[in-house]
Chain A
Amino acid sequence: MAEFVWHAVSPLQHSFTPGRMGETADAAGVRMAEIRNFNLVQIFARRGQWSAVAKAAKAHFGVEAPTRPQAVSGKAGVLLWSGPDQLSALTARRGDEIRPLDALRDRFAGIASLSDQSDGRCLLRISGARARDMLAKVSSVDLDAAVFPVGAAAATAIDHTAANLWREADAADGSPVFKLLVFSSFADSLWDTLVDAAAEYGIEVESPAGL
């Protein structure tokens, strides 16, 4: 029997090739990139255990666990508020690690229920001078710089599909940077929707990157 090879395939593997899309007259108003090679673990605190979970999360990830819609970034990754009692821990994947729960089980034993979502979501980075204009076509959330500051997060819906959206530190040119986490099975379809929304501003599709 031949040896088996396990190639990971992103849900967006066949959806795009890096380069310009949409209007090309001027510099791209929107930059889009798929972020690959991340682990995503849903940490769901058990009854009455929120403070114990927050403490364990701080000890493990080195950042304060958000108690409201926020994304807190630290060296180890991002702790994202994803619902009452719930955190999503987003960290870089080492190699082709396939069991991210193993490293967390002891830490959260008895205080939280853990669920691996590393393959259940697809992560996008959306930036550029027109990123807000483009997102206004797909998101009902007010993303004004003052209302939705760096670190703000929203559990929301895009094209009637659940998504998590948060804002990270602005790019060097001052333009905003957003991260968008969508369900893997919807990723290909939502990618098309995002491209349609951004086409008039010109899109630079960047090569897939790590976290």
Chain B
Amino acid sequence: MRIACPFCGERENGEFTYLGDAKPQRPAMVALDAGVGASGEQEAFYDYVYLRDNVAGEMSEYWYHGGGCRSWLVVQRNTMTHEISSVKAAAGTGAAAVKASARS
């Protein structure tokens, strides 16, 4: 398999490490002024840490170009055919090119 890194160009998959489904969102960090978190946060984390769809078809996945530019990438891949339809950098990759005013 070959993955077109948006920074480096097309590279063989040995340069990349697979993480998994890019869909689950990690629950946000919270303030712990009272010393404890909110109720229901364990369920949210249970979903995030353990529950995954077993997708047959198009799936967005995280891949790490560790044998290259060390970018985390979001790869749109068909799990049936291994066809890759898009590769994008993760949100914080290449952040220096983002305008300073965009900082939240």
Question: Do any beta carbons of A and B sit within 8 angstroms of each other in the complex?
Answer: yes
- Chain A interface (Cβ within 8 Å of chain B)? 45-50, 53, 68-69, 82-86, 140-141, 154-157, 160, 162
| Residues A154 and B96 in contact in the complex (CB < 8 Å), given A83-B71, A84-B69, A140-B15 | no
- Chain B interface (Cβ within 8 Å of chain A)? 7-9, 11-12, 14-15, 66-71, 89, 93-103
CB distance from B45 to the nearest CB of A (A): 28
The reply to whether A155 and B103 form a contact with Cβ atoms under 8 Å apart is no
* Residues of B contacting A86 in the complex (Cβ-Cβ under 8 angstroms): 69
Number of A-B residue pairs at CB separation under 8 A: 67
CB distance from B70 to the nearest CB of A (A): 5
* Residues of B contacting A155 in the complex (Cβ-Cβ under 8 angstroms): 8, 68-70
Provide the bound-state CA to CA distance between A175 and B8, in Å.
Answer: 25
* Residues of A contacting B15 in the complex (Cβ-Cβ under 8 angstroms): 140, 156-157
| Residues A45 and B69 in contact in the complex (CB < 8 Å), given A140-B11, A140-B14, A157-B14 | no
CB distance from A11 to the nearest CB of B (A): 21
Identify which of A50, A154, A160, A162 contacts B97 (C-beta below 8 A). Answer: A50
* Residues of A contacting B68 in the complex (Cβ-Cβ under 8 angstroms): 154-157, 162
| Residues A162 and B94 in contact in the complex (CB < 8 Å), given A49-B100, A155-B8 | no
Provide the bound-state CA to CA distance between A141 and B11, in Å.
Answer: 7
B2's nearest neighbour on chain A, judged by CB, is: A140
The reply to whether A46 and B11 form a contact with Cβ atoms under 8 Å apart is no
Provide the bound-state CA to CA distance between A129 and B54, in Å.
Answer: 51
